[in-house]
A and B are shown apart, each in its own frame.
Chain A
């Protein structure tokens, strides 16, 4: 059984989803890479921000 940590699961999810988004939502290779990196950073940043919000609510 594969049991990643929460953050590892987030990184895996963000990576695979960003690759697909980048390829399917843009036409040129350069734009694909840029959009893929943008999606990846948004996935990870939003998760980190949401985690801190939940931490603050819990306190």
Chain B
């Protein structure tokens, strides 16, 4: 005898694993979210671009912002830097960033680091959109 009990259909979350894995992985390692969704070339290009921007910023003696509650611009700088994920953590652990910006090149480097973090946020959200099927 056939059962009439209705079984709820599996959601995308359960069928594809953790829904936010591409978002989190893409934030931690630039381009990794795209690799997770099978977009290898896009992932590699994103990794090369964002990693180059971050490490060139460090090489230019850019400043790595620390968590702070002081100046608003410093807080925004920290928010941008955090976008670099593990790169930011490495920079903080090994004390790679410079505290004070004294030359023009260091100012460029600081902007490179902040913008690379912001670009990584965009890339991670794009990976999430690919993951959930919002983008082809």
Residues on A facing B (Cβ under 8 Å): 1-4, 6, 9, 12-13, 15-17, 19-21, 23-24, 27
Contact = CB atoms under 8 A, between A and B. Distances in A.
Contact of B116 (A6, A16, A21, A23): A16
A2 B60 contact: yes
Contacts of B135: 27
B16 interface: no
Interface stretch (B2-10, B17-25, B48-56): B48-56
Interface residues of B, number: 27
B27 interface: no
B49 A13 contact: no
A24 B125 CA distance: 9
A27 B134 CA distance: 11
A19 B45 contact: yes
Contacts of A16: 49-50, 52-53, 116, 119
Contacts of B42: 23
